[in-house]
Amino acid sequence: MRTPYIGGNWKCNGTVESIKQLVQDLNQGPSTEGKVEVIVAPSSIHIGLVQSLNLRKDWKISAQNIVQEKNGGAFTGEISASMLKDLGIDSTLLGHSERRHVFGESNTVIAKKVKVSEEVGLTIIGCVGETLEERERGETNQVITSQLKDFNVTNWDKFVIAYEPVWAIGTGKTASPQQAQEAHKVLRDWLADNVNSEVAQKVRIIYGGSVNSANSDELIKQPDIDGFLVGGASLKSKDFLSIVNSGLKSVE
């Protein structure tokens, strides 16, 4: 059985006081040790703060993005993979739709980020997902498998796939359990056909897109959904802990 993986993407949110309260509340939740892998991804300016607040030891801190050069350099406003390792951070999101569609990151740039992440040993949460227009044109499978291929992954042991339909992110619209399962199975089948069956069975594929405490139980019951990448609900301790509890119940 694949260990459920649940991530909280705090995006560009939070104040010192709100994050202090959030960490305090999250630290009161039940242990996930050895059962569910949980990460939270604060904004880069808040990573040190969350570390100083002693986030619970059974959870980890992730970055939301990195620059495409391993050691950084003349990239104003960016952070590098090497900087993260120096801080003791072991993972990063890459390819999030907001990076692709708001900031214009190309598949080529994202692949460079995968390469440098692999070089320093970061775990990658790689995001794929189609727009509403692409889904309506029947292009979902083509889009998400092409994005997965273009990551150019060489170390699948440190890669988690996050399927996040763009039309469901921050909109309140969620893919139905059936829609999400169909996309997850397409991705797992692609791994079996283009990498190997062992990788296909081992790699965790998680769902993101308006995940909340009301829909997480049903979504994680699907055979190819291994957890969640949570946006807005991850900023609400009660909701996020409820989603984590969905993961715990799935392995009981």
Given pLDDT bands bounded at 50, 70 and 90, which one contains residue 174?
A: confident
Catalytic amino acids?
A: 96, 164
Question: What average pLDDT score do residues 69-89 get?
Answer: 97
Given pLDDT bands bounded at 50, 70 and 90, which one contains residue 29?
A: very high
- Residue 43: what residue type? S
Tens digit of each residue's pLDDT (9 = 90 or more) over 94-124: 999 999 999 999 999 999 999 999 999 999 9
User: What HEC string does the chain produce?
Assistant: CCCCEEEEECCCCCCHHHHHHHHHHHCCCCCCCCCCEEEEECCHHHHHHHHHCCCCCCEEECECCCCCCCCCCCCCCCCCHHHHHHHCCCEEEECCHHHHHCCCCCHHHHHHHHHHHHHHCCEEEEEECCCHHHHHCCCHHHHHHHHHHHCCCCCHHHEEEEECCHHHCCCCCCCCHHHHHHHHHHHHHHHHHHCCHHHHHHCCEEECCCCCCCCHHHHHCCCCCCEEEECHHHHCHHHHHHHHHHHHHHCC
* pLDDT value of position 93: 98
Question: What average pLDDT score do residues 8-15 get?
Answer: 98
Q: For the purposes of burial, counting CB atoms within 10 Å of the CB of 78, is it exposed (0-12), middle (13-18) or buried (19 or more)?
A: middle
In the chain, what are the domain boundaries? 5-250
- The answer to whether residue 186 scores a pLDDT higher than 90 is yes
Six token digits for residue 68: 């495409």
Question: What average pLDDT score do residues 81-100 get?
Answer: 97
* pLDDT value of position 181: 97
Question: What average pLDDT score do residues 144-155 get?
Answer: 98
CB 109, CB 68: distance < 8 Å: yes
Mean pLDDT for the chain overall: 97
Q: 5-250 domain in CATH 3.20.20.70?
A: yes
Six token digits for residue 139: 């292009």
